[in-house]
Every structure is written in structure tokens, then in C-alpha cells.
């Protein structure tokens, strides 16, 4: 059985020609800490993530952007899930992370700016 949320997410990834390998599915991840941000508003979660997860995600982003275009993202994805409890998804192209929150989805986007790595956070509210 696959829950509605995971089934929808997998269908979207396949549609974008970026399917998640079976070994990366949540039920096969034994050592990933469990945190659920779905009871907290996006603004509060963003403050917590920026301070606690930001440095780890920036480090992963920097290392990933130094890889060859044909490199496998799997090790980076697994590292992100281990270091960032509550992370729901991370994509390599474009590099972005998703957290589910009480009022929708918090999407973090990363890019290299003139003064270092820049992070933007967008809240995609439920029903919009």
C-alpha cells in the first residue's frame, strides 16, 4: 500500500522524468530521524530550519554543484534526510528542499550568489 501523499509525489516525479529510486522510499530508510512539522505554521518552521538545517543544506548544495553532471545524487539525498529531520523531499535540479507544514508546503531554493549561497523560502499555502 502507498499513501495518497507518497503516491502523488511519486507520480509527479515520474512525470518530470526524475523518478525516486525504490531504495530511497521512506519505508526503506531505517536511520532517518522522524520529525513532523505539519502542526506548525510555515513561518515558525522556516526560522527553525534556517538556523538548524540551513548550514547542512548549504554544505550539501556546495558539494553537489562541484560534481560532474552525470553524478549520482543518492548519497547527497540520504545525507540531507539524516541531517535534516522533518525534510520531506530534496531535488537536485533545481536544488530545492520541501517541508510539509500546517499551512502548506515550505519550499527552499538554493543558488550561488555573488556573496555566497543564497536561500529563498516560499510557502505554498494549502488550497492555493
For residue 77, pLDDT over 70 is answered with yes
What mean pLDDT, rounded, does the chain reach?
86
Contact in structure between 10 and 18 (CB atoms under 8 Å) = no
Would you state the pLDDT for residue 72? Answer: 92
Which H or E run contains 124?
strand 116-125
**CA 53/CA 35 separation, integer angstroms:** 13
The per-residue pLDDT for range 88-109, each reduced to its tens digit, is 999 998 999 999 999 999 999 9
For 57, counting Cβ atoms within 10 Å of its Cβ (0-12 exposed, 13-18 middle, 19+ buried), the class is buried
Contact in structure between 78 and 30 (CB atoms under 8 Å) = no
Statement: the pTM of the whole predicted model exceeds 0.95: no
**CA 28/CA 24 separation, integer angstroms:** 7
* Cα–Cα separations (whole angstroms), residue 51 to 9, 47, 56, 69, 104: 27, 6, 10, 30, 20
Sketch the domain layout of the chain as residue ranges.
Answer: 1-30, 32-125
For residue 61, pLDDT over 60 is answered with yes
Would you state the pLDDT for residue 43? Answer: 93
Amino acid at each position: 500500500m502507498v499513501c495518497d501523499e507518497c503516491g502523488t509525489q511519486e507520480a509527479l516525479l515520474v512525470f518530470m522524468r526524475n523518478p525516486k529510486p525504490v531504495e530511497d522510499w521512506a519505508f526503506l530508510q531505517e536511520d532517518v530521524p522522524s520529525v513532523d512539522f505539519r502542526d506548525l505554521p510555515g513561518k515558525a518552521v522556516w526560522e527553525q530550519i534556517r538556523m538548524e538545517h540551513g548550514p547542512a543544506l548549504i554544505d550539501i548544495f556546495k558539494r553537489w554543484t562541484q560534481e560532474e553532471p552525470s553524478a549520482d545524487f543518492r548519497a547527497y539525498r540520504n545525507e540531507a534526510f539524516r541531517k535534516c529531520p522533518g525534510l520531506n523531499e530534496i531535488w537536485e535540479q533545481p536544488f530545492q528542499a520541501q517541508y510539509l507544514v500546517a499551512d502548506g508546503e515550505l519550499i527552499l531554493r538554493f543558488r550561488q550568489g555573488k556573496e555566497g549561497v543564497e536561500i529563498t523560502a516560499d510557502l505554498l499555502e494549502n488550497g492555493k
